Amino acid sequence: MPTGHIMMAMSLDGFVARKDHALDWLMQIDTEGEDHGFLTFQESVDAIVMGSGSYRTVLGFDDWPYIKPVIVLSRSMRRNEIPSALRNKVEISQIEPADLMRELGGRGYSRIYVDGGAIIRSFLHEGLVDDMRIAIAPVLIGDGIRMFGEIPKDIELELQSVEQFSSGLVQLQYKVR
Amino acid sequence: MPTGHIMMAMSLDGFVARKDHALDWLMQIDTEGEDHGFLTFQESVDAIVMGSGSYRTVLGFDDWPYIKPVIVLSRSMRRNEIPSALRNKVEISQIEPADLMRELGGRGYSRIYVDGGAIIRSFLHEGLVDDMRIAIAPVLIGDGIRMFGEIPKDIELELQSVEQFSSGLVQLQYKVR
């Protein structure tokens, strides 16, 4: 079974995006010249799993930011919605998280990047996340898509590292106990 | 007008207490020998404002942790609910946040410690908070009393310092812009 890994930015009040998936509050922070380790992190994983909301947000970026295969977990998305330039990089799956992880293990994958609010929550709740890197943005946005949701019981974490950036971002790395 | 200052611990998912005000998730973290600066912070303020929920939680502690005058903002609490040993340390007020701050300014107070989820939210929303020290506990509790709530518009923060403790607590200090 591969391990799940999270690298995500959230506002100090715990949102990964506004309700409409907008990231303006994050994009307006001047992080020029800062290396938050995204490329190194991405190089450490074998594939990326995300929901359709995150996929559509990323699709709106100027450049496709992923260098690894992307699996979009969605019951409603169809393959013909994927732009042809991305068809060899993106696949759609309807499999449940644990089954998907087993399937990805069968492909020889050992580390999976778990991305996007709803997907992160479901993988966390099912105990499929090994560690997480959370960049806390210096802003309160009040409402939006929560990074974490309700859970059947507490999830204890072990702090592994703290990194502070001049933009005001603080990246916390935790191992899930 | 005095300035408001926050020093609060929250779970990584943004809760200051469970729904029933319980702090067991925080208390079980072994912070022995760590100085999170609570005494220094408390010495820097002239008075403490909190809600009745926080007051009742603190009342359940073995020792009264405050060395400064405490004002409990409550419409329902009555003076005879305060144990006699605390009557010279605790007063009840029903004044709105901004008016209370002006009144406390009239007493010669310049720095007010704003404590407790609901009170923090209302003081933040009214622009009465100057800075905050937030200790992030390495745990997800899923549900409870949120540290931050909905706000009419984004509140931008300026990161001032980051301190990491061996317990896994990380204390972030922000100035409200």
pLDDT tens digit string along A19-33?
Answer: 998 999 999 999 999
- Please list every residue in chain A whose beta carbon sits closer than 8 Å to the beta carbon of residue B168: 157-159
What pLDDT, on a 0 to 100 scale, did the predictor assign at position A48? 97
Mind listing the domains of chain A with CATH numbers? 3-176 (3.40.430.10)
pLDDT tens digit string along A118-171?
Answer: 899 899 999 999 999 999 999 999 999 999 988 889 999 999 999 999 999 999
**ipTM (interface pTM):** 0.91
- Please list every residue in chain B whose beta carbon sits closer than 8 Å to the beta carbon of residue A174: 12, 138
CA atoms in the 13 A half-sphere facing the CB of A2: 27
- Please list every residue in chain B whose beta carbon sits closer than 8 Å to the beta carbon of residue A12: 134, 148, 157, 172, 174
How far is it, in rounded angstroms, from Cα A12 to Cα B124?
Answer: 14
CB of B176 within 8 Å of a chain A CB? The answer is no
Residue with the larger pLDDT of the pair B152 and A131 = A131
Pairing state of beta strands A129-137 and A170-176?
A: antiparallel
Helix (H) or strand (E) holding B57: helix B52-59
CB of B24 within 8 Å of a chain A CB? The answer is no
DSSP string, B114-137: EESHHHHHHHHHTT-EEEEEEEEE
**Which residue from B minimizes the CA distance to A28?**
B156
Strand ranges for chain A from DSSP E = 3-11, 15-17, 47-51, 70-73, 90-93, 111-115, 129-137, 139-140, 145-146, 155-164, 170-176
CB of A158 within 8 Å of a chain B CB? The answer is yes
What pLDDT, on a 0 to 100 scale, did the predictor assign at position A2? 98
CB of A28 within 8 Å of a chain B CB? The answer is no
Residues making up chain A, counted from first to last = 177
pTM for the full predicted model: 0.91
**How far does B56 lie from chain A, in Å, by closest CA?**
24
How far is it, in rounded angstroms, from Cα A32 to Cα A18?
Answer: 23
Q: What are the tokens at B70?
A: 């405490």
